[in-house]
């Protein structure tokens, strides 16, 4: 039997003591920002609020690069250069930017995989906004994490003795390029996040991609010390080209070829992974 009732109200019966449905006239905003970007920014704010509520989500872009920097400089640095850890730090730090960007992207797909299962995504899908908005928003919010990551890596590197050899503008360019690359590279993570069945498996799959890319590159050691076949991989690896460019911009050296490769990779990553990620998201609905 259903719940006991003494009386059952019929449809349309008068409501008790509630004021009328609020019906303020709704006006559309006259903001100049394009509609889709505006929606993405509104939703990116949601992602940032969530990050701020659980700041431990920032460990991978704060403490992790510091630990890597310390570990490689003082444990492997001496062995790699055959003596001076300081020389190694000058070589390593620009590379660390690239490596930690690749590592930092893992969390994005993982969080999105968990987030997308929540009811609020049904609401987003029922709103008159572009389908890709939640994905673009998550990537925009991730920008803040990469900014933090660059600041911490450079700041801590400076504290333990790294010195920029070039100047202010090339350094700004190096950081700008790294951030731009991060925003392209992280679409791999978004795509895996849409495809993987659990958020734990996103991490596993991403590590399979990120670890070879960051170690089989010019990040930690000179590729000339590697066997021939591996060097071929290093030569096309996008992380190598990013690192080559930032290294040139921060400690000096030619950048043109590496920069062209990096920009090419950025475009390629966007062209391939944005549509794949959006399609994965739509299928998930």
Partner 1 sequence: MTNAIEAEGLVKRFGDTLALDGINLAAREGTVLGVLGPNGAGKTTAVRILATLLHADGGTARVAGLDVGRHAHEIRQLIGLTGQYASVDEDLTGLQNLVMIGQLLDLSGNDAKARARELLRWFDLEEAAGRPAKTYSGGMRRRLDLAASLVGRPSVIFLDEPTTGLDPAKREDMWDVIRDLVADGSTVLLTTQYLEEADALADEITVIDHGRVIAHDSPEGLKRQVGGQTLTVRPTDSSRLDEVATILRQVATAEPELLGRGVLSVAVPGEEALAATVDRLREAGISVTELSLHLPSLDEVFFTLTGARTSSDEEDAA
How does DSSP classify residue 16? Answer: S
**Residues recorded for the chain:** 285
Q: How many CB atoms lie within 10 A of CB 127?
A: 9
Using the rule CB under 8 A, is 22 a contact of partner 1? yes
Out of 31, 32, 55, 224, name the contact with partner 1 by CB under 8 A.
Answer: 31
Q: Is 283 in the site for partner 1 (CB under 8 A)?
A: no
- Judged by CB under 8 A, the stretch of 119-127, 175-183, 243-251, 269-277 that binds partner 1 is 119-127
What are the DSSP calls for 234-278, one per residue? HHH-HHHHHHHHHHHHHH-S--HHHHHHHHHHHHHHHHHHHHHHH
- For partner 1, how many residues bind (rule: CB under 8 A)? 52
- Comparing C-alpha atoms, which of 145, 204, 132, 221 is closest to residue 179? 145
- The nearest distance, CB 113 to partner 1, in angstroms, is 16
Gap between the Cα atoms of 7 and 61, Å rounded: 61
Stretch of 101-109, 114-122, 139-147, 258-266 contacting partner 1, by CB under 8 A:
114-122
Judged by beta carbon, residue 49 or residue 67, the one nearer partner 1 is 49
How many other C-beta atoms are found inside a 10 Å radius of the C-beta of residue 99? Answer: 25
| Closer residue to partner 1 (CB): 111 or 153 | 111
Q: How far is the CB of 273 from partner 1 (least distance, A)?
A: 24
Which residues contact partner 1 by CB under 8 A?
1-13, 15-16, 18-24, 26-31, 35, 38-39, 42-43, 45-46, 49-50, 53, 118-129, 133, 285
């Amino acid at each position: 039997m259903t719940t006991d009732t003494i009386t059952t109200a019929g449809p349309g019966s008068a409501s008790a003591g509630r004021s009328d449905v609020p019906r303020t006239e709704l006006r559309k905003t006259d903001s100049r920002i394009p509609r889709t970007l505006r929606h993405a920014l509104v939703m990116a704010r949601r992602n940032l609020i969530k990050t701020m509520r659980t700041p431990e989500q920032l460990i991978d872009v704060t403490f992790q690069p510091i630990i890597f920097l310390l570990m490689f400089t003082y444990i492997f640095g001496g062995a790699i250069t055959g003596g001076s850890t300081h020389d190694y730090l000058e070589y390593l730090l620009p590379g660390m930017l690239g490596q930690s960007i690749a590592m930092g992207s893992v969390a994005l797909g993982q969080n999105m995989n968990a987030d997308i299962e929540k009811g609020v995504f049904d609401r987003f899908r029922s709103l008159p906004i572009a389908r890709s908005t939640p994905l673009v928003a998550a990537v925009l919010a991730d920008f803040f994490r990469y900014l933090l990551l660059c600041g911490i890596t450079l700041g801590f590197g400076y504290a333990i003795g790294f010195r920029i050899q070039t100047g202010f503008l090339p350094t700004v360019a190096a950081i700008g390029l790294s951030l731009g690359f991060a925003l392209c590279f992280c679409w791999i993570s978004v795509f895996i996040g849409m495809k993987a069945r659990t958020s734990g498996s996103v991490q596993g799959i991403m590590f399979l991609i990120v670890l070879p890319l960051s170690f089989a590159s010019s990040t930690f050691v000179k590729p000339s010390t590697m066997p021939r076949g591996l060097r071929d991989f290093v030569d096309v690896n996008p992380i190598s080209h990013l690192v080559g460019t930032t290294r040139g911009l921060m400690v000096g050296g030619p950048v043109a070829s590496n920069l062209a490769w990096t920009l090419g990779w950025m475009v390629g990553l966007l062209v391939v992974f944005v549509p794949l990620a959006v399609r994965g998201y739509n299928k998930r609905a």
